[in-house]
Amino acid sequence: MKAATLVALIAFLIVVVQMGIHKIEEGHVGVYTRGGALLDAVTEPGFHVKMPFLTNVEPIQVTMQTDSVMNIPCGTSGGVMVSFEKIEVVNRLRKENVHETVKNYGPHYDKIWIFDKIHHEINQFCSRHSLQEVYIDLFDTLDDSLAKALQTDCDKYNTGIDMTREL
C-alpha cells in the first residue's frame, strides 16, 4: 500500500509542477496576478514557473501590432449616417510601461486606448463635418488626425503606447 501511495504522490507532484511551468513567447512579456491583484513581476520570453491554481499569467505583446476596428458608424453634421468598414491602427506598447499600463487599464488596455478611442474620434470628426467633407474634402487628412488624437491622449496619460502614422 505504501508503494501505491508514493507513486500517486509523485504523479500528483509531477502534474502540479507541469501546471506551474509556462512559456512567454518572443515579442511578449508576462504579467502575473494572484487573487486578482497584479504582482510586480514582469518576465521576459522563455520558460518560467508560477504557483499553480493561485497565480495567473497574461502574455502582453510588446512588438508592433495591428488592431482592426470594424464597422464604425457615425453621423455627419447634416444628419447623414455613414459607416467606416475598417480602420487599422498600428501600435506598440513600450516594454518599460507594461506593468503600469496593465495596472491602470488591464491586460486588454487596447480596448480603451485603441478600439473605444477610434469610435469616439470618428464620431467627433463626422459630427463636425458634412458628408462632402467626410468622404471627399477631408478624407485624406483623417489618418493623420486620428493618429495624432490617439497619440496625444496616450502621451497625456503616460500609457506607453506608440502609434505609427499608418492608420
Sequence-distant (6+) residues with CB within 8 A of 165 are 143, 144, 147
Judge whether 118 and 87 are in contact, CB under 8 Å: yes
Distance in angstroms (rounded) separating the CA atoms of residues 59 and 44:
10
Distance in angstroms (rounded) separating the CA atoms of residues 155 and 138:
25
Confidence at 10, pLDDT banded by 50, 70, 90: confident
pTM: 0.84
- Tell how far CA 37 is from the center of its chain: 19
- Report whether pLDDT(17) > 80: no
Neighbours of 83 (CB within 10 A): 11
Sequence-distant (6+) residues with CB within 8 A of 98 are 29, 31, 42, 60, 62, 160
- Report whether pLDDT(120) > 80: yes
Judge whether 163 and 150 are in contact, CB under 8 Å: yes
Q: What is the pLDDT of residues 33-90, one digit of tens each?
A: 999 999 999 999 999 999 888 999 999 999 999 999 999 999 999 999 999 999 999 9
Distance in angstroms (rounded) separating the CA atoms of residues 98 and 109:
10
| Burial zone of 60 (CB within 10 Å; 0-12 exposed, 13-18 middle, 19+ buried) | buried
More confident residue, 48 or 7: 48
Judge whether 117 and 72 are in contact, CB under 8 Å: no
